[in-house]
Amino acid sequence: MKLLKTLLPAMAVLLVAVIALVPTLLSNRQLRKALDAKSAAPGTTAVPAEKTPENGGVPAETTTRAAREKLIGLGAENLHVWADADGRAYLSINVDPDSMDASTWGVNGLKKLYASFTDCSPRGYQDYLGGTTLRGVDLGLENVEAVYSYNLGNGREHPFFFVDRDGNLYMLSTLQIFSSGELDLRRLDVENVATVMPGDMDGGGSPFAVLRDGTEIWIYDLMH
């Protein structure tokens, strides 16, 4: 009996502590449940209200390309092509053709093309001095997502390929530039292009376009 009288006060204190702890446990359980539900929910990225077409802004499917502030640059021989942060494509020449040796192959074509160049301002472009003006020509393409340069085999043709957001494929002939100073940019007869891959040059193969469904089409087949 004496032991029971001694334990009763301690048991009372313990009971009060348990009663006080129950709401906290329930609260923590509810919080954990809410956090688990949030982590299990699929992630979504909301388009800001000012970007939605309903409000007259940029459609959601174009905001990523337009806002990524990335410039694509690719050179081949003395030529260089660019796709700016807006997806517009430009062509420039790496060196002033007037400084080239007169015996350099294609120098007359380069001089003719260079004479037609104007000051362009590709978005995202900056030279090593910090300048944002490029001496070149706007190729008139829009929504360019990727640029490639592959040898077509014999004939010194080393064209540039452009794939736009809609899966259209364009080819810019470098051979035409060197031989005549003219721009030969054409859209090839194919749709839903995902990428352009090199062919087997040892076997004289052509680069090929890979469609979004995985189909491969030789570039030579698209040129004729």
pLDDT in tens, 186-209: 999 999 999 999 876 554 568 999
Alpha helix segments (H runs only) across the chain: 2-40, 60-67, 107-115, 174-180, 219-223
Q: Cα(30)–Cα(187) distance, rounded to whole angstroms?
A: 60
The winner for highest mean pLDDT among 18-32, 49-63, 156-170, 195-209 is: 156-170
Strand partners, 164: 144
Q: Tokens 């944002």 belong to which residue?
A: 132
pLDDT at 19 over 50: no
Q: Cα(157)–Cα(32) distance, rounded to whole angstroms?
A: 64
Q: Cα(70)–Cα(83) distance, rounded to whole angstroms?
A: 9
Both structure tokens of 20: 């006080």
Q: Cα(23)–Cα(29) distance, rounded to whole angstroms?
A: 10
Strand partners, 216: 210
How far are the Cα atoms of 95, 110, 121, 205 from residue 127, in angstroms, in the given order? 14, 21, 11, 36
Are 167 and 191 a contacting pair, CB within 8 Å?
Answer: yes
Alpha-carbon torsion (188, 138, 163, 78), positive or negative: positive
Residue 174 makes CB contacts below 8 A (sequence gap 6+) with: 76, 77, 79, 157, 158, 159, 160
Are 163 and 74 a contacting pair, CB within 8 Å?
Answer: no
Per-residue pLDDT, 11? 55
For range 30-38, the mean pLDDT: 41
pTM value is 0.68
Both structure tokens of 218: 């030789």
- The residue ranking higher by pLDDT, 152 or 35, is 152
Closest CA to 188 of 165, 221, 156: 221
Q: What is the mean pLDDT of the chain?
A: 75
